[in-house]
Every structure is written in structure tokens, then in C-alpha cells.
Chains A and B, each alone.
Chain A
Amino acid sequence: MELRGLQKSYATRTGHVHALSAVDLSIRQGEFVAVVGPSGCGKTTMLKILAGLEEPTGGSASLGGHPVRTGSGDVGMVFQKATLLPWKDILANVLLPLSLRRRPTSADRTKAMDLLAMAGLAEFARKRPGELSGGMQQRAAICRALVHDPSLLLMDEPFGALDAMTRDTLNVEVNRIWRETGTTAVLITHSISEAVFLAERVIVMSPRPGRIVEEIIVPFDRERSLDLLGEPEFAALTSRIRSHFEVSHA
């Protein structure tokens, strides 16, 4: 996955909004990249370009040498909001990526139920999204992004609405799923420690128009456990990123 000199500006009623300027980034297959940056710096925009949902206004985004297009690859996407369909029950929502491709099989349903159980939502499979809390809906949305074993997993602040404990549990799950499936993962987050905990590489972006100001390699093993959060090395990395943040804010 390659982003070369990526630019994006939006035409709005009040003129152009320059969201991204000259982003260069290459992501290896199977890599886990986290992106942190101040609000409005173009993180969601970058993710949408990676998914082929937005066209860059300059530069290029390519996947294996071909320009990115929607529906061209197996992309699992977690949006900033849960974005569930209110007229379908949770199980049907989780199965949606599959049911748009083919008729779901009983194996698919088992897979979806396993994911829901992993997210602590097994008893809610037959409920409508309106009957779930915001955090529960977001967890269901994560299950939906994983149900079709995507080769690229794009997550836009997936855990923003969750409490710290649920967040830790799900982070461990995401780490496990990433290791077991070998999917490429891009995670946008406001939490620096979450970024360091999950990613092999953390991208720090500047305020709008977003540029990459630093890339930090996270040297831990692929398998991460919550003990990591107490390690001095972990603290050193997070504070290094945080200092960057403060500088870029000043």
C-alpha cells in the first residue's frame, strides 16, 4: 500500500478546505500502522482514500501497484460512528459485508456469532441496534469489519466511545486477530498508548493540512499483553509521541 505526495482538498461553500498536504506513506502487507494527530488534521480523510472512498486531489494511492478503488479489495472498515442499520438485528448487521457478496451460510453465521461472543454481545445477536448502548453498537461494528476476513482492516477511532477496561480487552483481541489473520491494519486513534500498544509503527500527523511529522517504530513483539502497559520502554515511547504532539500544537 503506497501513498505518494497525497493531497486532498474539499470544495465547500466557503472555499477550499485543505485537508491533507503531501502525505508519503508505504504500508507493508500484514503491517499494523497507527495514526495519531490532532482533531481535524485529515486522519479520516486519509483512511477514506485508503479505502477508495475519496479520490485524492493530488498524488496517488495505490495497492499492489494499482490505484485504489472501492470494492477492489477486501476491506473491513470501522467508522468513527457505529453506522449500523437500525432495521436489521445485530447478527444481520455483522453479516452485512458477507450478505452483500453472497448468501450467508451457516458457517458464516457461526463465525459472526463467535465474533459477537468475543465482543461480549452474544445475547444481543437478535436485538436491534436501537436497543444497544453506544459502546455496544461500536463493538458490533468492529465484529462487522472482521466477519469477511478482510486483507485490509481500516479503523477510525473504533474504541473512542468505550470505557478503559473494555478498551483494553478489545485491544488484546484486536492484537490477537491481527496476528492470527495476517491482515494489514490501519488504526486511527486519539489514544497514544493504544497506538503504541497495537501498532508496529505510529504515524504522527500535524494539524490541518495534515502532514506526517514523524514515524515511530514500536520495537515490541507481535504478541502484546496488557503487562506491556507497565514497561518503562512503553512509557518512554508514549511520552516521546506525546511531546511531539505538544510541539506540533504550539
Chain B
Amino acid sequence: MSTTTVSPPRRPSGRGVQITGGIALLVVLLLAWQFLPGLLNTPRYVIPPLTEVLAALVDPAALPRYLQNAAATMTEVGLGLLIGVALGLGLAVTLAQMPRVYGIVFPYIVAIESIPKVAVAPLFVIWFGFGLPSKVVVVVLLAFFPVLVNTIHGLRSVDRDQIDLFRVNGASPMQLRTRLLIPAALPQIFSGLELAVANAMIGAIVAEFVGAQHGLGVLILQAQGRMETPAVFALLIILSALGILLNLAVRLARRWVITWEPR
């Protein structure tokens, strides 16, 4: 007598396929980075092989410098975000409840929004000097607008019947604001935050390029000046990692705050 055990056909689940595929692609790309430049006879100062970049990244001699300057850049980003987001939220909530004023200032918002704001960075160096303030101001400017525009949009697209429900029940303007308009606009507010965070990194680096003593942007310029391409790549990796972390933080906060949103 023989028993046969029927095991279910082993088919990787959809998610499993995605993860394996993702890792496979990463390996291929990293291998290509390591070996393709050599095979194509690309000069090392144009595209250094992966191992050289990694060596530059973990170089113990460079580490304190990386850390100090990353801290400088993130201070600019953090302060700028704090101020820019607070201003954007505050102004949006104020304007959303004053339709007339909103009508008057709206064209100005659109006009300023369409300026490529990083182009103003040199001006800020003239006004605020080479230190922290000029960088923070650029970050503020870049973080402010996406928060302002998205929040206003969110506040203005709240369902009419929901507003009527509050009015019928005699809600005060304050109750309307804190218990309906702002919670209802949270999804758009977080979309604005995601953009603000990405913009803030751009703003800080560009401001450092324009004139600064500290920051990852300064290190990139220095490495460029010495033609240390591996160091430039290493700094780009650090910057991307910081950007990804910030973005992740916002998205986690969104999940944590907006628990009613379908995932």
C-alpha cells in the first residue's frame, strides 16, 4: 500500500514575486554599475565602479565630515520645513475662511508659485548672508507653497452637505474649522507635506551650492573641485537615503493619522 501525499503546487505568491523581482533587478543594476564602466572603457572619474563608491562612503577618515555636514543640511531642512509648513497651514486655514481675500491674493499665489523658486537663492545669500538663515529661508519658500496650495484645495473641497450639517447644528466657526474642515482636508494636507519634504531637500542643497560653509551640498562641490567622483556619488547616496527617510516619515505619519483611509 502506498500513500501519496499531494502537496499544493508551489507557486510564489504575488507579493513574493514582487520582492524577488525587486531584489533581482537591484542585483543586476549593482553588478552593471560595478562592471559595465570597465567593459565600456569609461574613465573612472566619469563613473567609478560601485566598490570605489562604497569605499568612499564608508571611509573612516571621511565619516565625521559626512556626519557633521549631513547634520548641517538636515538642520536647514528641519527648520525650514517647520516654519514653511506652519506658515502654509496657517495661511491656508485663514484664507479658506475668507473667500473675498482669497479671491484677491489667489493670482499672486499662482504668480509666485510659477517662479522657479530656487532661482531666488542667490538673492537670499545677498540678503541673509552665507550662514544658516539664507538656507532656511530657501527651504521655507520651497516647503510653504505645496502645503498652502494643497491645504487650501482640501479645505475648499469639503462636502457641502457636511458643512450644512454643521451649520444646521449651530456649529461655531471654530468648531467648523477644527472638527470638520481640517480633518476632512488631512489627505490633501499630507500630499502637500510629501511635496514639501522633497522640495525642502532640493532647496537646502541648491542654497548650499549658491554659497555656504557647511552642508552636504558644500561637500559635493568640494569633491567635484578635487575630481573625487567616488565621493560625489557617495554623497548623492547619503542625500537620497535622507530624502527617502523623510518621505517615509511623512507617509508613516499619514497612515498613523488618517486611519479611516482605505489602503
Contacts and interface: CB of A to CB of B under 8 A. Distances in A.
Interface of A: 48, 51-53, 70-71, 75, 77, 79-81, 83, 85-87, 96-97, 100-101, 128, 130, 148
Given A83-B161, A83-B162, A100 B175 contact: yes
Contacts of A100: 166, 169-171, 175, 179
A85 B180 contact: yes
Nearest to A79: B161
Name the interface size band of chain B: 20 to 34
Contact of A83 (B165, B175, B259): B165
Given A70-B170, A83-B165, A85-B184, 10 more contacts: A70-B167, A75-B168, A75-B169, A77-B168, A79-B165, A100-B169, A100-B170, A100-B171, A128-B260, A148-B169
A107 to B, nearest CB: 19
A96 B186 CA distance: 20
Contact of A81 (B161, B167, B262): B161
Contacts of B168: 51-53, 70-71, 75, 77
Interface of B: 159, 161-162, 164-171, 175, 179-180, 183-184, 186, 258-260, 262
A201 B143 CA distance: 59
Contacts of B184: 85
A86 B183 CA distance: 9
A96 B169 contact: yes
Main secondary structure on A side of the interface with B = loop
Nearest to A156: B161
B47 to A, nearest CB: 50
Contacts of B171: 71, 100
Given A97-B169, A101-B169, A53 B164 contact: yes
A81 B165 CA distance: 11
A212 B114 CA distance: 53
Contacts of B161: 79-81, 83
A83 B166 CA distance: 11
9 contacts: A52-B168, A70-B167, A71-B169, A87-B259, A87-B260, A96-B165, A100-B169, A100-B171, A100-B179
